[in-house]
Structures are given as C-alpha cells and as structure tokens.
A and B are shown apart, each in its own frame.
Chain A
Amino acid sequence: MEIERPAMAGTLESSDCQVTVEPGDGRIDFTLESAVINQYGNQIRKVVFETLSHLGVDNIKISMVDKGALDCTIKARVEAAVSRSMDQFVNALWGGAFE
C-alpha cells in the first residue's frame, strides 16, 4: 500500500498521540517524541511497525508526538493517518489493509 500525500491523525492531549505520515523514500522512516519514551519507546515502535505491516505499508515517513497513549490508541491513530493519506475517509483501515 502506497502513501499518496501527507496526512495526520490524533491530538496532543494527554493520553493521545499525533501521527503524521508522508510518502517515504523506499523504507519506513520513524521518528518519535514521547513523554514516556524511556519506559515505552521500544514498545511504541513495535506497535507502529506491526500496524504498518498489517496495513502493508513499507514506504513511509511517519512521525509521532506521543503524550502517553496506550497501544490501542497508537494503533488507531496510525491506521487513521494512513487511511487519510489515501483519501480513505469513511471506512478507515481499522485492523489492517483491504482484503
């Protein structure tokens, strides 16, 4: 699945995260700023990569500003941002790519 244009999902409220995606240069380029990076940085990265893998995305620049979001929130925000980058506004790609 290809990222077509920059898109965003999420907020900077406590316990949420804001995800920005844009077309990549042939790989997954992930940057993270997080209030809980010391404790959960690796876990957040794992969830982001797993979610992208489910969506079939491997060419993306994705950056996240995290305010202590739980894994389920992170997953939802990544899915929403990727959906929006493909103009998929109504039936977002919850849970993975189109069959």
Chain B
Amino acid sequence: MINAVGREIPEEILKITGKEPFKGNHYFDGYEYKKDGPSTRCVINSEGSKLVENIHEVLVKCGIQDGMTLGFHHHFRDGDYVVNMVMEEIHNMGIKDITICASSLGKAHDKLVEFIEDGTITNIQSSGVRGKIGRAISEGKLKGLAVMRSHGGRVRAIETGEVRIDIAFIGSPTCDDYGNCRGIGGKSDCGVLSYSMVDADYADKVVAITDCLVPFPNFPAHISMTKVDYVVVVDEIGNPDKIATGAAKPTTDMRKLMMADYCTQFVVNTPYFKDGFSYQTGVGGASIASTISLSKIMKERNIRMKFGVGGLTKPMCDLLENNQVDALLDTQDFDLNAVESVINPRHFRISAGEYADPFNKGAVVNKLDFVILAALEVDVNFNCNVVVGSDGIITGAQGGHPDTAAGAKCTIVIAPLLQGRIPAICTDVTTVTTPGESIDVVITDYGIAVNPRRQDLIDAMKNVDLPFKTIEELRDIAYSIVGEPERVQFDDKVVGIIEGRDGTVMDVVRKIKKFEFSGE
C-alpha cells in the first residue's frame, strides 16, 4: 500500500506489525485511548534498602527470562556502559530472544552485534542506531524487525501498551539506597534523565544502576523512589569524557557560516520573530552558528526569547546566562556547559513525554515557533531522511526530528547541497523519516527553498534579499555538479521500519545488496 509520503509499504509488514500506513501528521488528532499501566510490587515493610549486590542478582530478582523486553536510556551517549554491562550478564546467563527498547543506541554499543548474531537479542526498538549495529541490521542479521521511532513516538508506544517493558535499567549519576535518581552529581554527570522517565512510569520492574551512591534522600529526585524496585552500585556507569564533551568551538567553515547567516536572516524576517518567541536547534555547526548570530540580532532589536528547547548546548545556555531567554526546557545535554547549567532555576528538566509525545494532552513541541534541524537527504517533496545513509545502511537516529518538525510553526532544515559526491537535495530520499508536510524551509549553500505549502512564508520573504530557489532548482544544481545518482539497489527483505511518531508506518528499511555493475 502507498502511504501519505508516497512510500510502498508491503501488506505483509502491515499484517505482521498490525500497523496502519502513515496518513498525515494530524490523522490521530483528538484520538482517545486508555493508557497502559505497569504491574507494581508493593513495598510496605520498613527494611529500608533496595540495594542489590550486582547485576546478576538483580536480573534474578526481576525474574529475567527468554523473550523479555528491556528498556534503556541514552543520556550517556557514546560514553554509556550500562547497556553492554546488562546485556553481557544476560548473555552469560544464556537468556535468549530479548527485545531492546532503547531511547537510542550508538557506537558505545558495537558489542551488541555479537549478541544479535547468537540470538540473545532478536528485536531492537530505538530512535536509531549508529556504528556496527546499524550495519548488522542492514545486513539482515537481526531476527526480528528493527523499529526506529522518534523520542515522542517511543513514549507513545509505551503509554499505549504497544510496547510493554518488563525491566527498565536506568543509569543514574547519583542515587540513594531507596532509588531516588538524579542526573546531576557523581562521576557520570549527564544533567537530566528525561528519556528514562517513561520507563520509570510504565516498566514492570525498574532498576537504578549508579556509580555514586549518596545518602537518602537524594532530593529533588529526577526519578522518584516510588517507581524504582532495585538499586545496584557498580564501579562505572559511563565514561565521563564521552558523556559530555567540552563545548564545540564555533565553526570557522565559511560554507557553514554562510548557511547560518541565511538561516538567521530567514528567521528574523518571519512574522514569528518577535518578543516572546520560542526556539529549538540541533548541535550541527551551522545550527550553533545561527544561534550565536541570532542572539546578536535579539540584543540589537531588544527581543527576548520566551523559551528554548533542547538537546542543549553552550550557545543556548549562554542565552540564559545573558538573560535573553526566560526559560530553557531540557531533555538532553550535549556538552559540559549544558550539564552545569541544569542547576540554574530557570533551566527546567522535562520528560521525553512533555517534550514530544503526540499521544498525551499536548507536548512542548506544539508550542515551538522555530526549530532548526539537519538532514542527510531532502527530496523534492521536502521529505527528510535522517536514519539511512545514501549507501542504504542504517546510520543515524530520528531523535526528535519528526516531533519538532511536526510541532513547530516554522521548521527549517539546513543541509549543504553536497556531501562529497552525494547530493543532499534529491528526487527521492533513500528512506523517509520526516514527512515533507512538516518541513517549511530548506537552506543550502546554493540557495533556499520554501515549501510551496507555506505561501504565507513565501509572501513574508517578498522583499528579503536571500537566494531563493525552488527545491527542484536546488536538486538540478546538485545533479549538474555530481551527476544524477542511481537508486541504491536493495534486497526484497525488509529489516526494519521507520515508525511515524503516531505509530503508523512511514517507510521500511530493506536489506542491502552487494553492488554489481550493470550490463556485466
């Protein structure tokens, strides 16, 4: 069946998953449902500690068995030790057929490939996968279907009961013996625990793993003891150097600075740029540069930001320091400055649900004026791909891309026209992750295209001196330089699905096929 972004979704996949094809951003607006709930083992005695000796013991206490679904968060990013630590023990115990439901997986988890190959792990649900797991899935090594879902989509899947997490593991930088978790303090400071809050609310068993046990009460708790079954203390839950790096140096790449300048000029000429606007941006060089140049214009014109959302980095936290924004709403911290900013009383921690879930009574993304995003590919229908590389291998993550793009009034994607020989603007993206209806503007180093659906923005730019082009013109420039790319040849086998934030099927990912010259 062809879905609303023109992708062929095989009937068989709809049948296996019980899902509908994507039908447009607002298909589920107003939909009513009853939320799922966790089973809860009451603690009424006063023995006073939830400490368990080690990972093995806690797995036994949680009743680990074949076929279970385990929840993990990715606040430790490339420095995470928790996922591997737990999976190694599960592997040693001979447990099979595990589903991993993580907020994201990355290079820190290359080791899991062994466990995919030997059947310990048979299903993966994640925002995306980078590194060796991505290649393994694209080569068809995972027994089940990989499900790539956005940060908001993960919360939705858990709240509706589409996914039931049997045991959630929450790596916690500090924790007391009764399970009060905080994202700050300790050796593996990550600032916030936003992505694991839904795990704490909905998993049957919740295990806090820490390398810094602190006296009770570890308050104010980011995750409350009322949701935590057990606490395990280990030597290290992560590598601090890779959890939060020093702030990235502002880029000096003229091409990125030019795109950042285009972006800032576009933003300030929209009707949304006025006192009290709201803003979110990613961590790419051009996005960061545009935040910096925007802050200058805000100062000049005496315009304050009402709230900034992230995925936070130093330039966003600087806005708070310099009193240019009323509040920061934080789901993740990308550098040490962002981690340190968490103690500021106007820097608020929010859950992934508050941030981006389409199936609650309204999330922060719906209140965004601007979001500045990146993309691997954008096609002439403005559909974006952020998960599958142009070579057909899974190599990225949805993150909050589809959530913020759908919510914001003005969604801007910055992409250099060419990445090496690969055109970022193309006729058809390899895989659709964010539908074109969510994308309003595409900024490249060769020009800017406004989505024709946004006549209001086109009108607002009438007298603005920027190099406007149609998206087709941008594609044609790219193809004239590098040649028209051939479509990647895939095997028929579907290895994964790109889930829309509402749980529909946006696209499928197929097994890669070895390249062969044509006509040989």
Is the Cβ of B420 less than 8 Å from the Cβ of A39? no
Q: Which residues of A contact B421 (CB under 8 A)?
A: 15, 35-36, 39-40, 68-70
Asked if B43 CB lies within 8 Å of chain A CBs, one says: no
Beta-carbon contacts of A41-81 to B below 8 Å, as 1s and 0s? 11101000000000000000000000111110000000000
Asked if B332 CB lies within 8 Å of chain A CBs, one says: no
Interface residues on A, range: 10 to 19
Q: Which residues of A contact B515 (CB under 8 A)?
A: 37-38, 41
Asked if A91 CB lies within 8 Å of chain B CBs, one says: no
Closest A residue, CB atoms, query B481: A70
Is the Cβ of B517 less than 8 Å from the Cβ of A42? yes
Is the Cβ of A68 less than 8 Å from the Cβ of B488? no
- Minimum distance in angstroms from A15 CB to a CB of chain B: 6
Q: Which residues of A contact B392 (CB under 8 A)?
A: 38
CB < 8 Å neighbour of A39 from B481, B485, B517: B485
Is the Cβ of B485 less than 8 Å from the Cβ of A40? yes
Closest B residue, CB atoms, query A32: B517
Is the Cβ of A42 less than 8 Å from the Cβ of B486? yes
Q: Which one of B487, B488, B517, B518 has the highest number of Cβ atoms from chain A below 10 Å of its Cβ?
A: B517
How many residues does chain B have at the interface if contact means C-beta atoms less than 8 Å apart?
A: 17
Q: Which residues of B contact A35 (CB under 8 A)?
A: 391, 420-421
- Complex-state Cα separation, A34 to B485, whole angstroms: 14
Is the Cβ of A40 less than 8 Å from the Cβ of B481? no
Asked if B215 CB lies within 8 Å of chain A CBs, one says: no
Closest A residue, CB atoms, query B392: A38
Q: Which residues of B contact A36 (CB under 8 A)?
A: 390-391, 420-422, 485
- Complex-state Cα separation, A38 to B489, whole angstroms: 7
Closest B residue, CB atoms, query A15: B420
- Complex-state Cα separation, A43 to B483, whole angstroms: 8
Closest A residue, CB atoms, query B421: A68
- Complex-state Cα separation, A35 to B481, whole angstroms: 17
List which B412-464 residues lie within 8 A (CB) of chain A: 420-422
- Minimum distance in angstroms from B369 CB to a CB of chain A: 37
Closest A residue, CB atoms, query B419: A68
Is the Cβ of A42 less than 8 Å from the Cβ of B518? yes
Asked if B1 CB lies within 8 Å of chain A CBs, one says: no
- Minimum distance in angstroms from A62 CB to a CB of chain B: 14
Is the Cβ of A40 less than 8 Å from the Cβ of B518? no
CB < 8 Å neighbour of B420 from A14, A38, A41, A43: A14
Q: Beyond A39-B422, A42-B518, is A70–B488 a contact (Cβ under 8 Å)?
A: no
CB < 8 Å neighbour of B482 from A38, A41, A42, A70: A70
Q: Which residues of B contact A42 (CB under 8 A)?
A: 486, 517-518
Closest A residue, CB atoms, query B490: A38
Q: Which residues of B contact A69 (CB under 8 A)?
A: 421
Q: Which residues of A contact B391 (CB under 8 A)?
A: 35-38
- Minimum distance in angstroms from B33 CB to a CB of chain A: 42
- Complex-state Cα separation, A71 to B482, whole angstroms: 8
Q: Which residues of B contact A43 (CB under 8 A)?
A: 483, 486
- Minimum distance in angstroms from A32 CB to a CB of chain B: 8
Beta-carbon contacts of B496-520 to A below 8 Å, as 1s and 0s? 0000000000000000000101100
- Minimum distance in angstroms from A51 CB to a CB of chain B: 15
- Complex-state Cα separation, A3 to B501, whole angstroms: 59
- Minimum distance in angstroms from B518 CB to a CB of chain A: 5
Q: Which residues of B contact A14 (CB under 8 A)?
A: 420
List which B358-413 residues lie within 8 A (CB) of chain A: 390-392
Is the Cβ of B488 less than 8 Å from the Cβ of A39? yes
Beta-carbon contacts of B71-106 to A below 8 Å, as 1s and 0s? 000000000000000000000000000000000000
Q: Which residues of B contact A68 (CB under 8 A)?
A: 420-422
- Complex-state Cα separation, A36 to B418, whole angstroms: 13
- Minimum distance in angstroms from B334 CB to a CB of chain A: 25
CB < 8 Å neighbour of A71 from B420, B483, B487: B483
Q: Beyond A45-B517, A70-B481, is A40–B420 a contact (Cβ under 8 Å)?
A: no
Q: Which residues of A contact B422 (CB under 8 A)?
A: 36, 39, 68
- Complex-state Cα separation, A38 to B517, whole angstroms: 9
- Minimum distance in angstroms from A29 CB to a CB of chain B: 12
Q: Which residues of A contact B517 (CB under 8 A)?
A: 41-42, 45
Closest A residue, CB atoms, query B488: A38
Is the Cβ of A67 less than 8 Å from the Cβ of B483? no
- Complex-state Cα separation, A68 to B389, whole angstroms: 14
Q: Which residues of A contact B486 (CB under 8 A)?
A: 38-43
**13 further A-B pairs in the complex, CB-CB below 8 A; given A35-B391, A38-B486, A68-B422:** A15-B421, A36-B391, A36-B421, A36-B422, A39-B422, A39-B485, A39-B486, A40-B485, A41-B515, A41-B517, A43-B483, A67-B420, A70-B483
Binding site for A on B (CB under 8 A): 390-392, 420-422, 481-483, 485-489, 515, 517-518
Q: List 13 A-B contacts (CB under 8 A).
A: A35-B420, A35-B421, A36-B390, A36-B391, A36-B421, A36-B422, A37-B391, A38-B392, A40-B483, A42-B486, A42-B517, A69-B421, A70-B483
What 10 A-B pairs come out closest when comparing CB atoms? A68-B420, A39-B485, A68-B421, A38-B488, A37-B515, A36-B421, A42-B518, A41-B515, A38-B391, A39-B486
